[in-house]
Structure 1
Amino acid sequence: MEDYIAVYQKGDVSQCKDKRGTTSTRKLDDSDIIVHIQSFPAYQSHYTRKSNPNRKFLNPGLTIRQMYDLHKEKFLTEMTEPKKLKYYNKVFNTKFNLHFKAPHQDTCKTCDSLNFKIRGTDDENVKKEFEVQKELHQRKADSARENLQIDAKKINDAYVLTFDLQKALAFPKLTTSVGYYKRNLYLYTLGIHCFNNNTGYMNVWNEIEGGRESQDIAVCLVKRLKTHAVTQNHVIMYSDSCTGQNRNIKTTLSHLKLVQDPDTSITTIDHKFLVSGHSYLPNDGEFGIIESTSRRHGHIYSPDQWIEIIKTAKRKEPHFVVTEIKKSEFISTSALEKSITNRKKTTCGYDFN
């Protein structure tokens, strides 16, 4: 039964519906907010394009609060009353598929180049040709990532891993202005994510011990495989397409040497490369955890402090397993290179990279 209250007037007593606790159905005009949000440039992520094709990302330096302050500033200039922050936030969340995200350093130069060409031509036939090239390129990237997801489930039949080199970690890390002008030393980290036990292995060394060349990367990979995959017959590994570190004759020869090693059971190594610019790996997420943790440390004076940060960066198990690589463990592949013929053409005479 509906509640009623008495309304007393001169010489009359009438009843009306009690509206206490109800909300107003008056609709606010949100067109000004929509136009303002649309004025911010947004971009599509390479990594979420397939799973959420309509999602776009704003400048990572922005926040909804900053956007609202700019909106309010515009209204105050025009001497009008702006909407409330709560309503601005509601429009943002219900009428847009926008998110804030840090940009990736390895953006795809092929996509960028084709986007410039598409926007820079008025010829519809030429534009369509560029759009087809872009679509084929992105399908190729999606196919490579789908293969990674498929191979990640083959842990009963193979040792499956991804690997990547983290950006150099500087030490000493100081917050004083003088420290920004001093020459730093760097710690290198090769992350290896193993799907068989869902663990991240961090191989670390400073620049005095070794460099970041492909033979240094190969040493860490061989060491990891000899430690954990010695009884496996099949190894599947994924990496980006960086020729200086992963996709070259030095890495290939290290793999060939390993499959001929009588002390291991490894007979096959499949090294697969993701498309450049679309090579987001589990290692990138693990590196993000380390870098986020390091921001809570004002000063870092030595490699030992970096190693301790890496060990404790991941709160949930399994934690990162850290292995220090010493100078004596780094070896050259020059002897292997001299023992083979590095062919540049196939037996049919075609160029071969």
Structure 2
Amino acid sequence: MFGARGGVLCSSIKEDRAGLTGHDFIPPRFGENEGSQQNGDPERKYLDADMNVTHMHRLYSELYSAGAGSLSEPECLSTYRQVFLETGLRFGLPKTDTCDKCDLLHRRLREISNSNFTGIREIEAEIDAHHLKADFAYSHLRIDTELAKASSDVVTLCIDMQQVMLSPKISASDSFYRTKFSSYNVAISNPATDVSSMYFWTEVDGRRGQIEMSTLIYRYITQRFNRLEPGQSRKLNFWSYRCVAQNNNYQNIVLFKYFTIMGYFTEVSQKCLVTGHSFLPCDRHFAVIERYAKFKKSEIKIPSDWMIVIANSMPQSPFEITKLSFQDFLDFEVLRNLIPKPASLKVTQYHVITSYSNRPSVYITKKSHEAVNGAVHPIVNGSNLNTNSVVNLIFASAYVIRFDVPERKASDVRSLLRFLSIEERNVWNDLLPPLPQAQTPAPRPEAINDHSYSVQSLVVAEDHNYI
């Protein structure tokens, strides 16, 4: 008998090993890891990465003894290991950025007594219900993608931000001790065509909040879609993860309402994946970029080198890259004031929020993707909303000047400029705040203790003439 949590049925165990076939070969405490992100096979399952054969044998022995009493002995570790190798089972790779709820439930599962079968079943049922909810979201994303492939009247898009891109990224040992300059890359992907548009900026030009994300959505839609003619229809399904600061907020919701009132779409739905289970099509393209940077051992001496990495990561079909400055980011406060948030609309409670062009005065929400009927949220003075009320809105720049780099970070970056060319130093001098003449970047104590600085670099003044 094999617990479902073991992942893969062991069909190769020999008949003469009745001790292993008569009891759980895989103790029911082991969670399973999905294999889709490890080897490209979504059907393959893996045992928990925290486990090993010795630990599994110990739990197997406990279960065997509890079931068989004193009539027989469990198989020894060497036999257990041999049978394990014959099954083809594998341990999963350690995961990062995992689901909080899954981690808590699996921790409870690991800590619960093997004899508490009722408690184990209850936790397993909770895990299954949580995974079922996540699976529903993924299945709806696949359905939306197929609908977009089948009809030009349906558009499915996803948005996501790549992990922070740091620079300068060089081989010098001193670089290990230094705080780096941050750059950001956001992808808006069309899963129907498997094409992503990349938007790149640095920390002096913008942050990572709703202003930036809303600007990119507005820019993408208004540059790629024309307003519909009378009688035409077009539906937008816009997918993201549930980060309140970036995506799951009213500023994006009111922007989607704006698109329906302006006639870009007849229906727009913001749809969110389940928290912790938010692998989007954008992430595959981010993985291509990160793999290219890793295996090409790319040295990132100035922030714009990241744009070269992005462009070269898919030479057969290069990403479209747009570099933004602080002046490009827009303030949508005038839109939020015109279309105030309904008191009943708690944005983070819903997985689907929809606006219709023929119902401009309301939002329709669903708390889950499988829900049939949605709740209606009337907008205050929503009856006055029409194309004429929004067509003349002007969205001003959100930022009037660039952001300053924190002095500690600026000092760390300056200390690495001696490894760069004159042209690269000039780029950094434009990004970093001016340095008072009397200051020089001091080496970190831990760098000195680790001999990361040579005696010459600490004594010879010419090393810092570029400042």
Counterpart of 1:148, as a letter, is: L
In structure 2, the residue corresponding to 1:256 is in which secondary structure?
helix
| More displaced stretch, 95-104 vs 48-57 | 48-57
Asked if 2 retains the 8 angstrom alpha-carbon contact of 1:169 and 1:187, the reply is yes
* 1:249 partnered with 2:247: no
Q: Write the deviation string for residues 139-163 of structure 1: whole angstroms up to 9, x where unpaired.
A: 1111111111111011213111111
Per the TM alignment, residue 54 of structure 1 is displaced from its structure 2 partner at its CA by 3.6
Counterpart Cα distance in 1 of 2:93 and 2:343: 42
Per the TM alignment, residue 177 of structure 1 is displaced from its structure 2 partner at its CA by 1.9
* 1:96 partnered with 2:88: yes
In structure 2, the residue corresponding to 1:138 is in which secondary structure?
helix
> Do the aligned partners of residues 99 and 221 (structure 1) sit closer, same or farther apart at CA in structure 2, a change above 3 Å counting?
farther
In structure 2, the residue corresponding to 1:238 is in which secondary structure?
strand
Counterpart Cα distance in 2 of 1:56 and 1:222: 44
Residue 141 of structure 1 corresponds to which residue in structure 2? 134
> Do the aligned partners of residues 116 and 42 (structure 1) sit closer, same or farther apart at CA in structure 2, a change above 3 Å counting?
closer
TM-score, with length taken from structure 2: 0.54
Residue 223 of structure 1 corresponds to which residue in structure 2? 219
* 1:183 partnered with 2:176: no
Asked if 2 retains the 8 angstrom alpha-carbon contact of 1:190 and 1:204, the reply is yes
Asked if 2 retains the 8 angstrom alpha-carbon contact of 1:161 and 1:193, the reply is yes
Residue 267 of structure 1 corresponds to which residue in structure 2? 266
Per the TM alignment, residue 43 of structure 1 is displaced from its structure 2 partner at its CA by 6.0
Q: Write the deviation string for residues 36-87 of structure 1: whole angstroms up to 9, x where unpaired.
A: xx9xx9863356499426434658xxxxxxxxxxxxxxxxxxxxxxxxxxxx
Residue 172 of structure 1 corresponds to which residue in structure 2? 168
Counterpart Cα distance in 1 of 2:174 and 2:275: 38
> Do the aligned partners of residues 170 and 306 (structure 1) sit closer, same or farther apart at CA in structure 2, a change above 3 Å counting?
same
* Overall identity of the aligned pairs, in %: 21
Q: Write the deviation string for residues 201-224 of structure 1: whole angstroms up to 9, x where unpaired.
A: 111111111110012111111111
* 1:127 partnered with 2:111: no
> Do the aligned partners of residues 103 and 303 (structure 1) sit closer, same or farther apart at CA in structure 2, a change above 3 Å counting?
same
Residue 16 of structure 2 corresponds to which residue in structure 1? none
TM-score, with length taken from structure 1: 0.70
Task: State the superposition RMSD in angstroms.
Answer: 3.5
In structure 2, the residue corresponding to 1:189 is in which secondary structure?
strand
Counterpart of 2:247, as a letter, is: N
Counterpart of 1:128, as a letter, is: R
Q: 2:209 aligns with which of 207, 213, 216?
A: 213
In structure 1, the residue corresponding to 2:179 is in which secondary structure?
coil
Asked if 1 retains the 8 angstrom alpha-carbon contact of 2:34 and 2:46, the reply is no
In structure 2, the residue corresponding to 1:345 is in which secondary structure?
coil
Q: Write the deviation string for residues 301-321 of structure 1: whole angstroms up to 9, x where unpaired.
A: 112211011011014x43211
Aligned length: 283
> Do the aligned partners of residues 313 and 54 (structure 1) sit closer, same or farther apart at CA in structure 2, a change above 3 Å counting?
closer
Counterpart of 1:280, as a letter, is: F
Counterpart Cα distance in 2 of 1:280 and 1:47: 13
* Structure 2, unpaired ranges of 5+: 1-25, 51-80, 229-233, 351-467
Counterpart Cα distance in 1 of 2:298 and 2:318: 23
Asked if 2 retains the 8 angstrom alpha-carbon contact of 1:58 and 1:98, the reply is no
Instruction: Please show how residues 14-53 of structure 1 align to structure 2 within 5 Å.
Output: 44-46=32-34, 48=36, 51-52=42-43
Residue 287 of structure 2 corresponds to which residue in structure 1? 288
Counterpart Cα distance in 1 of 2:35 and 2:326: 37
Per the TM alignment, residue 252 of structure 1 is displaced from its structure 2 partner at its CA by 1.0
> Do the aligned partners of residues 130 and 101 (structure 1) sit closer, same or farther apart at CA in structure 2, a change above 3 Å counting?
closer
Residue 147 of structure 2 corresponds to which residue in structure 1? 154
> Do the aligned partners of residues 115 and 103 (structure 1) sit closer, same or farther apart at CA in structure 2, a change above 3 Å counting?
closer
Asked if 2 retains the 8 angstrom alpha-carbon contact of 1:199 and 1:319, the reply is no
Residue 306 of structure 1 corresponds to which residue in structure 2? 306
Q: 2:190 aligns with which of 164, 187, 194?
A: 194
Per the TM alignment, residue 285 of structure 1 is displaced from its structure 2 partner at its CA by 1.4
Residue 238 of structure 2 corresponds to which residue in structure 1? 237
Counterpart Cα distance in 2 of 1:314 and 1:43: 36
Counterpart Cα distance in 1 of 2:298 and 2:344: 54
Counterpart of 2:176, as a letter, is: Y
Counterpart Cα distance in 1 of 2:227 and 2:334: 27
In structure 2, the residue corresponding to 1:290 is in which secondary structure?
helix
Counterpart Cα distance in 1 of 2:127 and 2:92: 25
| More displaced stretch, 318-327 vs 119-128 | 119-128
Q: Write the deviation string for residues 117-175 of structure 1: whole angstroms up to 9, x where unpaired.
A: 23333444343322222111101111111111111011213111111100110111122
Counterpart Cα distance in 1 of 2:317 and 2:48: 31
Counterpart Cα distance in 1 of 2:312 and 2:137: 33
Asked if 1 retains the 8 angstrom alpha-carbon contact of 2:206 and 2:326, the reply is yes
